[in-house]
Amino acid sequence: MRRRKFLTLIGGAAAAWPLAARAQQQVGKVPIIGLLGPGTTFSHGPWFEAFARRIRELGWIEGQTVAMEYRWAEARPERYAEFAAEFVRMPVDVVFTTVPAVPALKQATSVIPIVFALGSDPVGDGLVASLSHPGGNVTGLSTQASDLASKRVGILRDVFPQLKLLALLGNVDNPQIVLEMREVEGAAQKLGIEVAPLEVHRVEDIAPALESLKSRAQALYVCIDPLTNINRVSINSMARASRLPTMHDLRESVEAGGLMSYGPNFPDQFRRAADVVDKILRGAKAGDIPVEQADKFELVVSLRTAKALALAIPESFLLRADEVIE
């Protein structure tokens, strides 16, 4: 299925699926997967597409042997509880989401299985009892984000040996982002790099935060969450206007005009999460399925952005990259 067609489908799924899904449940008890995206079809749709494609590969036929209910929070965390309650009322057979929505889902139900992707510290965040035996009704995949933050800072130093002041943009209403920002600050301090935190809470905070730098910083580290992901194009546009090279968590931000990213392959994480959901639909208990760790990490660099910033990226560094966007 082409991406544009898929995104149109899932964008309207919230309106189209409920009646069909309920009717199917009444007649043939078709299982329902509730999919709660923290962002929009633009920011998260391609990853959920990877999930849906894998579900089909595993033998499930949408509209016949399984129904899929999509909900998009649009970077508004207050909507998590609303959608969680809706999923409980249906009820769905399993919920697939990303970590920010899990607490609201856990509060709404201790029975319906919940599968998450992109968790940085699921044990520390209280989502599961342990990685090997989660217990309860929650399991999923971890990205090992706390380890990755220091690696990203090291990569920036490799490319920019004279880096002295690093701007750090993050949504401090997200506990995972607060943790990542602390990791970045700690790693930078060890390398003798000063950090200028730019704390944001909503989209209206982003432009003033970047403007406050007044060209003092030499690079920008962007912590990715639904808020910054939805606004990745405008963030990169403002960074380029200030001639700031950027470091991101995901390749999609590089495609949107960023300089580089290092992190797990997000579509792969979502595909693997589909395998977990498949196990649950076939009878496994979420609490008995170990939380899996990310096993694919990619360094992506944009020569197009480097040229726009008049930056010379060392050939030795480009050879390290998993992908170079020209």
The ranges of the chain with pLDDT < 70 are: 1-28, 144-146
Whether 13 and 130 share a structural domain? yes
Q: Give the tens place of pLDDT for each residue, 13-40.
A: 443 334 344 434 444 589 999 999 999 9
Which CATH number does the domain housing residue 169 bear? 3.40.50.2300
Whether 308 and 181 share a structural domain? yes
Whether 127 and 93 share a structural domain? yes
Q: What is the pLDDT of residue 11?
A: 46
Whether 200 and 132 share a structural domain? no
Structure-block tokens of residue 70 = 């999509």
* pTM, full prediction: 0.83
CA–CA gap between residue 294 and residue 69 (Å, rounded): 26
User: Which residues are registered as beta bridge partners of 114?
Assistant: 95, 138
Q: What is the pLDDT of residue 118?
A: 86
Whether 203 and 288 share a structural domain? no
Whether 233 and 320 share a structural domain? yes
Q: What is the pLDDT of residue 175?
A: 86
Q: Give the tens place of pLDDT for each residue, 275-299.
A: 999 999 999 999 999 999 888 899 9
Whether 85 and 161 share a structural domain? no
User: What's the domain range around 13?
Assistant: 3-143+265-296
Q: What is the pLDDT of residue 145?
A: 60
Whether 184 and 273 share a structural domain? no
Whether 109 and 52 share a structural domain? yes
Q: Give the tens place of pLDDT for each residue, 124-142.
A: 889 999 999 999 999 999 9
Percent of the chain scoring above 90 in pLDDT: 81
Whether 52 and 123 share a structural domain? yes
Q: What is the pLDDT of residue 104?
A: 97
Whether 156 and 124 share a structural domain? no
Q: What is the pLDDT of residue 146?
A: 61
> Rounded to an integer, what is the distance from CA 314 to the centroid of its chain?
29
Whether 120 and 198 share a structural domain? no
Task: State the total domains in the chain.
Answer: 2
Q: Based on the number of CB atoms within 10 Å of its own CB, is 134 exposed (0-12), middle (13-18) or buried (19 or more)?
A: buried
